[in-house]
Structure 1
């Protein structure tokens, strides 16, 4: 009977108990970001995860635990490698293991960076200390083309952007993806999209319009009509 079970197991090996993954994040230019290291496995009491990244684009600035205690880490920002590990007596299911803060200011508009999970160096453990069979999924950081406040990414900040934000806050649909609105609308950078951001966007619009008005007035002043020997001339 034992031999039969062994043959059956060899012919039908168990599937993965879950995945180890890094979240995808979309950010505005010159912003930093935080990614989550997660697992979909159940009954997790320990883990060891290695992630790699492009050190020319990303630099780790902090690591914190979420559903488990702060991990013990080994970090090499020059090589673009981070190792995280933690263990506890009790189990968690579908856990957010840790959050990793990245300095992304070296990235430019429209640029992307991948954060890979190294499968051969990453394991999830159950309450017996046994490693699960796990799959791995990379994460990605994408920098939008537009600046904060330019919610529809058309190259300028207008009252139209404020309209989009108002509808987003009210839960109404727009032609702009919600993820883009959530990223570009937070003009005061307090971590939430609120009416304060609408006011901030409109203030930028008003300030820009005032600047345009001043430029037009200066142009008029430079072309003031004057009388010269009874003739009217425009003096620039």
Structure 2
């Protein structure tokens, strides 16, 4: 994500092409794919990122910071033509810095469906995120209600006076279980592009696994 350093020399289309590693162009050539839409966001201001870090007492990872200095969020969607109907299939989304909101245990209004909130999550071990102050958790993508992709600071003990660092990417599924997705944002970002934002692709990294329908989409458009 060092591309933001050369933004002045890049046109908008070339910048977007580099940002998505050519996925948008590749999708347009796939049989049956239509309406590939890549939203364009202005770059975040550096003082906005500093403000977020100060409010949340967390240091943004360098790769995520560079991403936001290139584009303040990402939304790439695409559809498939089925029997003269355009069906929404893929979505690749990264929340803007303004939408990178904290998930907390007490009083949380974030829901996972069926009136279940993340406040219902209980954990015994120390190897996964907690909502009791040991971790700081921020939502990167709401995943259309099938879970939440989160930026997680695992060691964020209050009272030490130092900002939390070394965030990882985790997935909270609808069964309220955590699954580790990536040790850094760049790895997660490439995973998302590799899966082309196919429905429920996050579950390929969980013990639950993909649903039969999600497997069909993967076999068609991301067999590797």
Query: Which structure dedicates a bigger proportion of its chain to strand?
Result: 1
TM-score where L is the length of structure 2:
0.25
Which has the higher relative contact order, 1 or 2, with Cα contacts under 8 A spaced 6 or more apart?
1
Report the structure number with the largest CA radius of gyration.
1
Query: Which structure dedicates a bigger proportion of its chain to helix?
Result: 2
